Amino acid sequence: MRNMTPEEEEIKEEDIIGEVHVTIASDAFSKPITCCSRKTKKATKGMSLKGQKVTYDVWKCGKCEEEYLDSQQAEKLEDIWAIQKFLEGKSPTMERSLNYDGKTYFVRFPKDLTAGWAKQKKEKARLTMLSPDRYLVEVA
């Protein structure tokens, strides 16, 4: 197979022949997935994070050994990868001024990070203490 040039990859107006409407079932990315004309089976996989074993589930084909994630499994794996990046010191970081109003310390988030919070009704923050001077902040 040859590589296409950027001009060949570009979609032109005459290439578009009409609109296609697709409906995806709400359970499309859950339950056993079919592979090799068979239903996959749930299997547990694991990985080590700083010496701690973390597990997650996959759907595995008994014939070709291919593994699939449903939406819940994918979310859990993304959380595991985020924790892994955090533990390895590879997470994006930001320095902000710590403010004090006479009663409470607070941190201001930049406007470009909070632009969608009102639409998503973000009203609370959960603080998890990692050490006396390190906290994980989750905005919910």
- Position 136 in a domain: yes
Number of structural domains the chain divides into: 2
pLDDT recorded at residue 23 = 79
CA distance 87 to 109: 23
Query: Both 107 and 64 in a single domain?
Result: no
Can you give the residue range of the structural domain that contains 121? 94-140
pLDDT recorded at residue 90 = 85
Query: Both 83 and 111 in a single domain?
Result: no
Kindly report, residue by residue over 35-85, the tens digit of the pLDDT.
888 888 999 998 888 888 889 898 899 899 888 888 888 888 888 888 888
- Position 140 in a domain: yes
End residue of a domain, out of 50, 67, 91: 91
User: Is-contact 58 74, C-beta < 8 A?
Assistant: no
pLDDT of 1 strictly over 60? no
More confident residue, 137 or 12: 137
pLDDT of 107 strictly over 70? yes
pLDDT recorded at residue 101 = 93
Query: Both 41 and 80 in a single domain?
Result: yes
Query: Both 76 and 108 in a single domain?
Result: no
Query: Both 77 and 100 in a single domain?
Result: no
pLDDT recorded at residue 15 = 75
pLDDT of 102 strictly over 90? yes
- Position 9 in a domain: no
Kindly report, residue by residue over 12-21, the tens digit of the pLDDT.
777 777 777 8
Query: Both 86 and 46 in a single domain?
Result: yes
- Position 11 in a domain: no
Query: Both 70 and 52 in a single domain?
Result: yes
- Position 4 in a domain: no
pLDDT of 27 strictly over 70? no
68, two tokens: 């699939």
CA distance 83 to 79: 6
CA distance 62 to 72: 21
- Position 131 in a domain: yes
In DSSP terms, which residues pair with 107 in a beta bridge?
98
Query: Both 35 and 70 in a single domain?
Result: yes
pLDDT of 95 strictly over 70? yes
